[in-house]
Each structure stands twice: as structure tokens, then as C-alpha cells.
Structure 1
């Protein structure tokens, strides 16, 4: 009996949601309202985005803030990580893909995957394509994770579908 009551409530909820969507679709047909206000221009075309813009990928810049201001990002977009190879005047950098939000918060690199080493950011930079609809958590893993733990050289991305 309990599962029958649950099924009935679930059915009512599904019908309610479907009716709201149907009413919204009909209202949209009868007006000139455009629901595409949230999309970036040419959203159907993948774009290349330099991480950090003109700042590139370096210590002390807040990439989470940058990602919030430069999103949304879409499936098929390419993130380009530009950074100098190690030398006497710069800190070395890398790019890690963290497996989950908890690892991102704690900058726990134990289960992270290094996707670009200290030499791959030079020239045209390291490119990463957002191919799956999933959250991505990026961080610099150099200095035993200090660049990430500092709170600036890390950022999340959840690509949207076109």
C-alpha cells in the first residue's frame, strides 16, 4: 500500500511538472519572449577560452572568480592554459583534474590526474576540451599543492549543453 501511495504522489508530481512546461511552451509561442537570454553569443559554436584571459595561468590570480565572470562554458569549448616553463624567475605550474568537489575544496591531489606538466603551458598553451556534461575541477598541483591551497589557482567548470 505504501508503494502505491508513493507512486500516486510521484505521478501527480510528474503531471504537475509536465503541465507547467506545456503552459510555458504555449505562452512562449503566443509571445515574443526569448528564452535564449542566458546563452552567450554564438553558443552553438565551441569557443577557445584562455584561462585567466590576459593574466594566463599564474600564482596569485583568483581563477574561481575568473570562471564565474567568464562563464558559462559549453560542451565542446576548449580551455587553454598558458604558463611559462620553469626558469629562474617564475614558479613552475601544472594542471590537475581533481576527481570531485571534496578534493577540490581540500586541494587533495592524491586521486587527481595530472593533465599538463610544467612544460606544456608554453607556446600555444595546453588545451583541454570540455567533452562531457559533468563538473570539472582544475588546479595547479605544484609546490605540493600550495598553489591550490592558497585558494587562487583552482576553479570549477560545469559545461552547459547547447
Structure 2
């Protein structure tokens, strides 16, 4: 039984070492995805955004949607050729899965009233860069995610491996 527990400890330590750091942002903070919010200011308040971060859009059903578009469609508030479109339920979570610029609009006519968002996703500058300096949304419903730098993850894995080897010698 002791060896099984030791193996479990090593596996859990390995999983922690592979955990990626990300942040969850509630678009528009407590106001959500609605007309009348300045999403340019919101974006500036929460940048930088990185691969693995999540945008969560909270909106009123049947009166709003989230449409991902290209830059030209964003500038024209044109949802006729969307990259993606989501309008079910009351919320939509979108993972930022590559660097570059993302564009989102509402196709219910509110885009012309400023209900549009442009996000620049940047690469992490260094694997040991402190993510705690990154601003987090004050309206996030979930606790901050587990974030380990690669150095801390390596240290945790090595410590778990050393403990496992020591316990195996004793057993």
C-alpha cells in the first residue's frame, strides 16, 4: 500500500509540474457584454493577454451574441462572415489559443454602439515571468487558477522524485 501511495504522490507532482498558467477574464467586468461599456478601456485595463487565457462573455439571452470576426468585419460591424458565432445561454467562454489579434462584435446592432472588443494576445516573455503582476478581472467567479513557473514546476517534480527514491530505499 505504501508503494501505491508513493506512486500517486509522484503522479500528482508531475501533473502539477505540467499545469499551465492562465487567467480568466470576465469581459466588461461586473457589467458584462452589454451596450454602453467602453471595451477599449476594459481591454487596456486587463492587458497583457497570453495564450491559455480565457475570455468569458456574460450577456442577455436572445438580445446579444458573441461573434468572432476578422479586422475588416470588426471595423464595419459586419457579422455576415463570422469566424465563430455564439448566442446560446447566458455566457460564452473563449480560450485565447494563439498569439495575435482577436476581434469580437455583437451582431444584434449593438456593435455600432461600441459593443465590440479587440484583444491582442502576446507571447510570454519568459517562462519564469511572474504572472501575479498581471491584472485579473475583479468579477471573476472562480478563484485564481493554479500557476506554476517552469522553475517551480521543475523543483516540485525533483522534490517529489527525491522523496519517492528515499521512501523506496526505506521500504
**TM superposition score category, shorter chain reference:** 0.5 to 0.7
Taking the TM superposition and a 5 Å limit, the aligned residue runs for 1:110-125 are 110-117=80-87, 119-120=88-89, 122=90, 125=91
* 1:157 aligned residue (98, 113, 119): 119
Unaligned runs of 5+ in 2: 1-19, 125-171
Using the size of structure 1 for normalisation, the TM-score is: 0.60
Runs of 4+ in 1 over 4 A off after TM superposition: none
Find the counterpart in structure 2 of residue 33 from structure 1.
none
CA-CA distance at 1:94 after TM superposition: 0.1
Taking the TM superposition and a 5 Å limit, the aligned residue runs for 1:78-89 are 78-86=54-62
The secondary structure found in structure 2 opposite 1:137 is strand
Unaligned runs of 5+ in 1: 1-43, 87-91
Number of residue pairs matched? 105
* 2:69 aligned residue (82, 86, 98): 98
Find the counterpart in structure 1 of residue 159 from structure 2.
none
Q: Does 1:132 align with 2:98?
A: yes
Taking the TM superposition and a 5 Å limit, the aligned residue runs for 1:6-17 are none
Using the size of structure 2 for normalisation, the TM-score is: 0.57
* 1:74 aligned residue (50, 59, 71): 50
Find the counterpart in structure 1 of residue 140 from structure 2.
none
CA-CA distance at 1:148 after TM superposition: 0.6
CA-CA distance at 1:107 after TM superposition: 0.9
**RMSD of Structure 2 on Structure 1 (CA):** 1.5
> Quick check: 2:105–2:117 contact (8 Å CA) kept in 1?
yes
> Quick check: 2:54–2:96 contact (8 Å CA) kept in 1?
yes
Distance across 1 between alignment mates of 2:102 and 2:96: 8
Distance across 2 between alignment mates of 1:82 and 1:104: 20
